[in-house]
Amino acid sequence: MAGLWQENPVLRLLLGMCPTLAVTAAVKPALTMGLSVIFVLVCSNIVVSLMRNLLKSHLRILMFTLTIATFVTIADLFLKAFVPDMSETLGPYIPLIIVNCIIICRAEACASKNGVFISVIDAVGMGLGFTITLCVLAGVRELLATGKIAEQVVMPQAFVPWAAMGLPVGAFITLGLILALVNQVTKKQA
């Protein structure tokens, strides 16, 4: 379960930055994104781990991406069918899970060397780490940009929404500051 903190994919390994920045304007899409990533990560880790002995090494990456692409298609169709609004908001970022480096990295570093059980645990840990980070980032941005969290008003009337936080600028700067905070905390622990 190292994915939650010591090897948190976003905060420590700097993997999967694109969706992290793109979908975190509000909590709900961030959560949906996180859950889809957990689903794809778990499924692809299971499959990769099952077929790890059959793979030729030079075809490895290709097989990984194909496996991932299949599960992403499933997730995408599922979202389109059951939560069409959310699918609309996330747009192309759901298919972009295919090239999310977290998933390929875990397939390569963990699932292709370990059994199914370990791979699933690893996938869940990494996925949760990713989802939690995403939600924290989205929470901060949504709060500052609109004064709401998950569409519930929490800030007093006098609060002036800080529109820039909802724009790309806000994403980059918030993530930068969160990373700085994490660096600071780790240094104190060490």
Footprint of another protein (CB under 8 A): 14-15, 17-19, 21-22, 61-62, 65-66, 69-70, 72-73, 76-77, 91-92, 95-96, 98-101, 104, 167-173, 175-177, 179-181, 183-184, 187
Q: How far are the Cα atoms of 75, 125, 137, 153, 165 from residue 131, in angstroms, in the given order?
A: 16, 10, 10, 23, 20
Which of these, 93, 120, 123, lies nearest to 25 by C-alpha position?
Answer: 93
Least Cβ distance, residue 24 to another protein (angstroms)? 10
If 0-12 CB within 10 Å is exposed, 13-18 middle and 19+ buried, where does residue 30 land?
buried
b/e burial code for range 142-157 (CB count within 10 A of at least 16 → b):
bbbbbbebeeeeeeee
Contact in structure between 28 and 150 (CB atoms under 8 Å): yes
Pick the closer one to another protein by CB: 80 or 113.
80
Pick the closer one to another protein by CB: 99 or 116.
99
Least Cβ distance, residue 49 to another protein (angstroms)? 20
Pick the closer one to another protein by CB: 53 or 184.
184
Least Cβ distance, residue 100 to another protein (angstroms)? 8
Pick the closer one to another protein by CB: 24 or 131.
24
Least Cβ distance, residue 153 to another protein (angstroms)? 27
